[in-house]
Structure 1
Amino acid sequence: MSDTTHLLIPGAASASEGCQQAQQGLALPHLDRLLARLSPHPAQSDDGEETSFTPPHERALARALGLPAEDGRIPWAAWHRHQQGLSTNGEAWAFVTPCQWQVTTDHVTLRDPEQLGLHESASRALLAIVAPWFAEDGITLHYDQPTRWLASGPLFANLATASLERVLLRDVRAWMPDAKQARTLHRLHSEMQMLLYTHAFNDERTARGLPVVNSFWVHGAGALPQPVPAPSAAPSMPTPLRDAALREDWRAWAQAWAALDAGPVAGLLRQAEAGAPVMLTLCGERNARTFHNAPRSLAQRFQGFFRPLRAADMLHKL
């Protein structure tokens, strides 16, 4: 429904031990009351794995926007360009994030690109250095943001890529695109590491005490479906829970939940109590669960009277 207020909450739960401990003392009274008023919306919910390329909240957001939600193949870069009013020319696009891979004997960890201290001029200078190498493989790079460029090329048409959130602060080797399908990207990764290892760009950064940039991550690849989905209101998607979960700061995560419960969740509850159509999507690392205030059957109401759905129980299912 176009007039439905949709609140989509990423990072609502995690299977990690720290999160499980943080949940034990978590009080979410407004979420409890809201869930008691809503019904499950199976058509908008899904099950996944922690190893899927696309996190649940991205799948949920894609469905809400009318985009394909196949794992690793949501065309976020093409959608971003379309939202800017720029033509995609029917081509496949992808995001390319310059980053640092920290290599040890048993891990290749992707450090947070936001910690690189890249500003626009440095990012554009780096793009000019690497763009010719990408161009040799039919990939055209375009500046978008300091830690995110756009890329176009046939390579991205059917390429499954892992969300940056999935690989952030983790070993990249578990999240690399299929070796056969992405042989070009694997080679480019090697070439960029060799190119940038002794490049003056990084020498200058090292002299200033800044982290070196030695690699990149491709994500959000694909072409938009035709016809392009009609514009629709995007769900409200607060990210404090997700941000705290990515840092594994579970104290901040619990504080963020308390703030969300008192703010956006309480606001959605007031709308539901006033009879307005609302939708709530809770997303963990594996699953997404959506609820709405559609009419409930007599059996559902009877069961809910004796065993109302509690926030604590729902978080364990994410």
Structure 2
Amino acid sequence: MAPTLQHLIVPYAATGVHLPGQDGAAPPLPTLPRLARLLERLAQQEIDRGDEYSLSPPHERVLARALGLPASDGAIPWAAWQAGERQQACAWFTPCHWQASMDQVTLQPPEGLELSEAESRELFEALRPWAEEDGIALQFLSATRWLALGPAFADLPWASLDRVAHRQLDAWLPDGERLPQARALLRLQNEAQMLFYSHRVNDLRSARGLPLVNGFWISGTGAWDGQALPAPQVTDRLRLPALRGDLTSWAKAWEQLEQDEIATLLAAAEGGAEVRLTLCGERSAISWASGLPTKPGALLRLRRLFQRQRPLDLASLLSQL
């Protein structure tokens, strides 16, 4: 029997997120000797090239292929797969805060909203009859995840929540003229904003100084045939600080990642196991694996980056991402 491949996917290994008010200066990055040793043992296998405007970020594309899921941009059926819904088009409805200013609207994801299950259930129940009028069945799974089921989500591309978190929404909302099947959902989003704005949940949240939960985002659209390969390991250590543009916390998360997941994968590689590492940025992803021929010059270029006389230059290593 062939040995089991140990595959680690690292989203936001490089990040280009900068929030308003930042000066764009990145803090000093930590030295990562285990990552250096691991990459010296592996051969570059493939590059998933893209850009920062794709609806599905690189880590979602890589994970979809590893699982054998459809990987059409913005239409990876994450909701159906994660909820175990077979042969039924689904999507995630994620309650969030739409922050309007003079010239733009940005989205705050639920991680920073302190949204309780009771509050979320009240908003869910308020939206459910409106969704049902559009042929959408809603199921409450958690405070931050409502499962939506209906034919409207088949073959409907929609930007990942990771693409829109803390960003201006104009560029990410689908064009109802080009995608007629999106029109009813765009209308439902507008209705939810009006419905939630005057809801008692938000009256109470406002009194406590908490952000209003005044909308929802759609993601993970599509249908799943029930087939999937074993899932690789995906670490979320870098995700939240990257999305928030907190580069200091992002660098510290890299240190922890180096001590834990990278150290584990290095030990496995040094023990003779078949391992694969995929580092993802906001545009592209690069995979390295053991037991593969080394591309001419690739290992030499990496070794030059990892000379022990100086710290690992992570920014240079991940400039392709």
Q: With the length of structure 1 as denominator, give the TM-score of the two structures.
A: 0.88
Aligned to 1:315: 318
Q: Deviations over 1:219-272 (max 9, x none)?
A: 001001x3x32441x222221212211111111111111222222212212211
Determine whether 1:229 maps to 2:227: yes
Aligned to 2:260: 263
The 8 Å contact of residues 22 and 254 in structure 1, kept in 2 or not, is answered as: no
Aligned to 2:134: 137
Counterpart code for 1:95: W
Q: CA deviation at 1:91?
A: 1.3
Determine whether 1:177 maps to 2:179: no
Determine whether 1:122 maps to 2:125: no
Q: Deviations over 1:186-231 (max 9, x none)?
A: 211221222223233322332343322211100001001x3x3244
The 8 Å contact of residues 80 and 91 in structure 2, kept in 1 or not, is answered as: yes
Aligned to 1:27: 31
More deviation, 173-182/60-69: 173-182
Determine whether 1:92 maps to 2:89: yes
More deviation, 282-291/60-69: 60-69
> What are the within-5 Å matches in structure 2 for residues 165-204 of structure 1?
165-180=162-177, 181=179, 182-204=182-204
Residues 307 and 238 of structure 1: is their aligned pair in 2 closer, same or farther, counting only changes over 3 Å?
closer
Counterpart code for 1:250: L
Determine whether 1:147 maps to 2:144: yes
Aligned to 1:163: 160
Residues 36 and 19 of structure 1: is their aligned pair in 2 closer, same or farther, counting only changes over 3 Å?
farther
Q: CA deviation at 1:15?
A: 3.4
Identity of aligned residues (%): 47
The 8 Å contact of residues 51 and 284 in structure 2, kept in 1 or not, is answered as: yes
Residues 214 and 20 of structure 1: is their aligned pair in 2 closer, same or farther, counting only changes over 3 Å?
closer
Alignment partners' CA distance in 2, 1:249 and 1:144: 30
Q: Deviations over 1:277-307 (max 9, x none)?
A: 000000001101011012325x74x763586
Task: Give the unaligned 5+ runs of structure 1.
Answer: none
Residues 213 and 259 of structure 1: is their aligned pair in 2 closer, same or farther, counting only changes over 3 Å?
closer
Q: 1:292 aligns with which of 289, 303, 308?
A: 289
Q: Secondary structure at the match of 2:234?
A: coil
The 8 Å contact of residues 13 and 19 in structure 1, kept in 2 or not, is answered as: no
Alignment partners' CA distance in 2, 1:303 and 1:68: 31
Counterpart code for 1:50: E
The 8 Å contact of residues 50 and 283 in structure 2, kept in 1 or not, is answered as: yes
Residues 200 and 241 of structure 1: is their aligned pair in 2 closer, same or farther, counting only changes over 3 Å?
closer
Task: Give the paired residue count.
Answer: 306
Alignment partners' CA distance in 1, 2:29 and 2:246: 16
Q: CA deviation at 1:146?
A: 0.2
Aligned to 2:9: 8
Counterpart code for 1:79: W
Determine whether 1:36 maps to 2:44: no
Residues 80 and 306 of structure 1: is their aligned pair in 2 closer, same or farther, counting only changes over 3 Å?
closer
Q: Deviations over 1:4-49 (max 9, x none)?
A: 111111110123578985476442111111111111122xx31111
Q: Deviations over 1:85-132 (max 9, x none)?
A: xx43x1100000111211111111111312322222221111111111
Q: Secondary structure at the match of 2:170?
A: helix
Q: Secondary structure at the match of 1:110?
A: strand
Residues 211 and 71 of structure 1: is their aligned pair in 2 closer, same or farther, counting only changes over 3 Å?
same
Counterpart code for 1:128: E
The 8 Å contact of residues 123 and 196 in structure 2, kept in 1 or not, is answered as: no
Aligned to 1:216: 216
More deviation, 193-202/147-156: 193-202
Counterpart code for 1:195: L
Alignment partners' CA distance in 1, 2:29 and 2:93: 40
Greater share of helix residues, 1 or 2? 1
Give the superposed CA RMSD.
Answer: 2.3
Q: With the length of structure 2 as denominator, give the TM-score of the two structures.
A: 0.88
Task: Give the unaligned 5+ runs of structure 2.
Answer: 306-311
The 8 Å contact of residues 161 and 219 in structure 1, kept in 2 or not, is answered as: yes
Residues 230 and 19 of structure 1: is their aligned pair in 2 closer, same or farther, counting only changes over 3 Å?
farther
The 8 Å contact of residues 55 and 166 in structure 1, kept in 2 or not, is answered as: yes
Alignment partners' CA distance in 2, 1:291 and 1:49: 20
